[in-house]
Amino acid sequence: MKWIKVKNKTEMACIAADILCAQVLLKPESVLGLATGSTPLCVYENMVKRYQEKKISFADSKTVNLDEYYGIQPSDEQSYRYYMDTNLFHHIDIPPENAHVMNGMAKDADEECRRFTGLIHALGGIDMQLLGIGHNGHIGFNEPDDHFTMDTYCVTLSESTRKANAIYFKNGLSDMPEKALTMGIRPIMQARRVLLIAGADKKDILQAAFNGPVTPQVPASILQLHRRLTVVSCEE
Ligand code: GLP
């Protein structure tokens, strides 16, 4: 594991964008696993800037997103599809058919999770997975539990995650979905490289995840077992 501690979000965004763009420059047809939340926003901004400056093209790249709320329209401003379109996909040259997000409106959630698993296989697996981390140690929406869930699945969100993410919903908690579709631990651990980014507010949970035991109570701790993990965290 490589842990890069930087001063602030600007530096973190720049280093994370360097790592993701290097992956695409070395292998233009890379499969990138992407994340949402507030932390990756500055990284995506940086990637868009590099594309606009013609330093990089994503024309041959493919992306698969970690998670999506269940029961939410892709056009809903709170959906992760909307987030990805407006913060990244619509500003770079990735062909729309190459940018995959699970369908939060799928009638059969389990079937949608199986479809996504098949898709990742068909794409040849994930070359680099970008991750944030929740205050409770969740990655994607893999919540603290008494076991790790390996396969991509439909999860009931924990109270703490619903409270943390409710600020993004107009009517707060009452608008907030109770379920989400998330990549399970297996596709994340099978990614050839993992890049986890975290702001200064995540210091305590990073300690628990990377200097404590590997436990499903802190889902990110499983990443200690990944052979090519890079963590970029902010000091302030
Ligand atoms: C959401 C996402 C996670 C993300 C987490 C942290 O719950 N599903 O993938 O890592 O938020 O978000 P933030 O970066 O806003 O703290």
Q: Report the C-alpha gap between 27 and 82 in whole angstroms.
A: 27
CA of 228 to the centre of ligand 1 (A): 21
pLDDT tens profile 130-164: 999 999 999 999 999 999 999 999 999 989 889 98
pLDDT tens profile 202-219: 999 999 999 999 999 999
Q: Give CA separation, 220 vs 20, 33, 66, 140, 232, in Å.
A: 20, 16, 14, 9, 14
Q: What are phi and psi of 186, to 5 degrees?
A: -60, -55
Q: How does residue 236 score in pLDDT terms, banded at 50, 70 and 90? A: confident
Instruction: Return the percentage of the chain with pLDDT > 90, whole number.
Output: 92
Output the 3-class SS for 90-137.
HHCCCCHHHEECCCCCCCCHHHHHHHHHHHHHHCCCCCEEEECCCCCC
Q: Report the C-alpha gap between 138 and 225 in whole angstroms.
A: 16
Q: Whose CA is nearest to atom 10 of ligand 1?
A: 132
> Sign of torsion, CA 36 39 41 45?
negative
Q: Does the beta carbon of 219 sit less than 6 angstroms from any atom of ligand 1?
A: no
For a mutational test of ligand 1's pocket, the pick from 9, 12, 39, 205, i.e. the residue with the most ligand atoms closer than 8 A to its C-beta, is 39
For a mutational test of ligand 1's pocket, the pick from 133, 168, 183, 233, i.e. the residue with the most ligand atoms closer than 8 A to its C-beta, is 133
CA of 133 to the centre of ligand 1 (A): 6
CA of 131 to the centre of ligand 1 (A): 8
Q: Give CA separation, 88 vs 48, 49, 85, 197, 233, in Å.
A: 7, 10, 6, 17, 22
Residues labelled as active-site residues: 67, 136, 138, 143
Q: Report the C-alpha gap between 236 and 233 in whole angstroms.
A: 9
pLDDT tens profile 77-93: 999 999 999 999 999 99
Q: Do 54 and 150 contact (CB within 8 A), yes or no?
A: no
Q: In 3-state terms, what secondary structure has residue 164? A: helix
pLDDT tens profile 95-115: 999 999 999 999 999 999 999
Q: Does the beta carbon of 37 sit less than 6 angstroms from any atom of ligand 1?
A: yes
Q: What are phi and psi of 73, to 5 degrees?
A: -70, 145
Q: Does the beta carbon of 134 sit less than 6 angstroms from any atom of ligand 1?
A: yes
**pTM for the whole structure:** 0.97
CA of 183 to the centre of ligand 1 (A): 13
Q: In 3-state terms, what secondary structure has residue 5? A: strand
